[in-house]
Every structure is written in C-alpha cells, then in structure tokens.
Amino acid sequence: MMTRDDFIRRFGGVFEHSPFIAERAWDQGLIDQPLQAEAVHKALCAVFRDADAEQRLKVLRAHPDLAGRLAMAGGLTEESKSEQAGAGLDRLTASEHARFTELNERYVTEFGFPFIIAVKGHDKHSILAEFERRITNPVDTEFAVACGEVEKIAGFRIFDLLAGQGASG
C-alpha cells in the first residue's frame, strides 16, 4: 500500500510544481488503491478544478514557456523536457525559435501566464498554429483552455507514471 508521502513524491509534480493538488486529493480521501490512471487523474483534476482562480493561475504560471529560456538553459523539469523534445521543440531553426519567443512574450503580456498545450500528438507546426489561433482568445476563454490543457498534460503524466494501468483521462 502506498503511503501519503509516497503518493505525493510520485504524483506531486504531475501538475507542474504544484504538489498541493496531490496532497489535497490524498487528504480528501479521493485516492483509492490499487492506483488506476483514470481514477488518479479524475481525483487530481477534481482538486485542481476546486482550487480558487488564484491557485489555478499559480499552476498555469508554474509551466515553462514552450521552447523558451528555461528550455535553452536546460532548466525544465524532466517531464517538460521530454514532452517538448517529443514535439520537436528542442530542434527549432533560428527563425522558428524567434517566432516562438515573440509569441511567448505577446501571450504572457496578454494573459499573464505562459501558453500551455499538451504537446503529445503535436509537432512544432501544429503547436505554432494553435499558438497563433489561441493568442486572439478573450482572457477568460484562454484561462479555461489553458486549464484544460494542464489537465490533459496531467493525464499523460499519470498514465506514464502508472505504466498504462487503466486509461488516461
């Protein structure tokens, strides 16, 4: 049986640098054992959705820019590094990197948090197209879209952590 500390150590980073989500899910009795990916994802997402807007904003702000300074400096979490590399964001041309940098800066200025997309299944071209489409969203719409993307990312991470036990949400 997994202990609270074990659970938090294993799942505390599923929502980028936000272990409070795993802590609350455990403390609220939302985690059943044996762990199933779909059930863990559902529990963690419920806690994320129940968090107030400021807490959810902090979770969004904990995410790195896509192909941004942290990536270039090697400062991403292992999960983010792997996810971005899988989409080819570690192999941008100079002009592509400049475009991502420009869009990252515009996006953060407009919305107050970085552009977030679950990159699995995307490549640099589809990510760029989505970036350019979403940058015109109203702030409240984009906040909701970004929160949904964070939940998708969490689902992929949970599924990976549990090596395919149950379905990813």
Catalytic residue flag (residue 41): no
17, 41, 63, 122: which one is catalytic? 63
Given a contact cutoff of 8 angstroms between Cβ atoms, the answer to whether 168 and 37 are in contact is yes
Sign of the dihedral through C-alpha 148, 12, 80, 157: negative
Helices (H), strands (E): how many in the chain? 9, 0
CA 150, CA 130: separation in Å to the nearest integer?
Answer: 15
DSSP 8-state symbol, 150? H
Which is nearest to 60 in space by CA: 147, 153, 128, 155?
A: 147
Active site residues per annotation: 63
